[in-house]
Amino acid sequence: MRVSEVMTTNPTCCIPTDTAQTAAIIMRDEDTGIVPVIEHKGGGKLVGVVTDRDLCLGVLAGRPQGADVLNPASIPIKHCMTTSVVYCNPNDTLETVLELMQDNQIRRIFVVDDQNMILGVVSLSDLMNRGRVPKGETRETLKAISEPTGEASKPRAQSASAKAE
């Protein structure tokens, strides 16, 4: 089974100059904890992601690099987003995605085309609910994702993320 068969298409995106508050509103309205960041309104390449954790730890618990005030309505996403993004291709197998999730301790992976344009997102929940993944494999993935990293107090934008080749 391929990623394209289980992914969620057309995720709502931000651009680097959108505010932290804009990202939080998208998260609330879309019932998600992650928002892809693309180059410009209406399209563009995937350039990063912002998570609820990035907002909480990077905006609310500390001053983002380059920000003058701690006001989510005035802090651009570029100051708290993660720029090193793990992604996959729509033709990748579910096994490949599970491996990426395990190796990078993440529950969601964005799906991009050959030009790095965002097509969708695939989550562990998508794999469990729509994919034909053996129960033992999803259990092992969840276990690997949940392992402590020793970086619990750092926003993801300050910690290293791997990029899928």
**Segment 110-121, tens digit of pLDDT:** 999 999 999 999
Torsion of CA 18, 106, 150, 65, to 10 degrees: -10
Q: Give the closest residue to 87 by CA, choosing from 77, 74, 100.
A: 100
pLDDT exceeds 70 at position 39: yes
Q: How many domains does the chain divide into?
A: 1
Distance, CA of 104 to CA of 160 (rounded, Å): 10
Predicted local confidence at residue 18, as pLDDT: 96
Unique residue bearing structure tokens 């090193």: 84
Lowest mean pLDDT among 6-15, 19-28, 105-114, 128-137: 128-137
Predicted local confidence at residue 127, as pLDDT: 82
55 CB-contact burial (10 Å; exposed 0-12 / middle 13-18 / buried 19+):
buried
CB 34 within 8 A of CB 123: no
What integer best gives the mean pLDDT of the chain? 81
Residue 154 belongs to a domain = no
Residue 159 belongs to a domain = no
Residue 103 belongs to a domain = yes
CATH number of the domain residue 41 falls in: 3.10.580.10
Residue range of the domain that includes 54: 3-149
Residue 91 belongs to a domain = yes
The answer for residues whose C-beta is within 8 angstroms of residue 26's C-beta and 6 or more apart is 12, 14, 32, 35
Distance, CA of 75 to CA of 94 (rounded, Å): 36
pLDDT tens string 69-109: 567 888 899 988 999 999 999 999 998 998 999 899 888 99
Residue 62 belongs to a domain = yes
Residue 69 belongs to a domain = yes
Distance, CA of 164 to CA of 21 (rounded, Å): 29
Residue 119 belongs to a domain = yes
Residue 77 belongs to a domain = yes
pLDDT tens string 135-161: 666 566 665 655 665 554 444 443 333
Torsion of CA 133, 135, 136, 141, to 10 degrees: 70
Distant-in-sequence contacts of 40-43, Cβ < 8 A, 24+ apart: 40/15, 41/15, 43/117
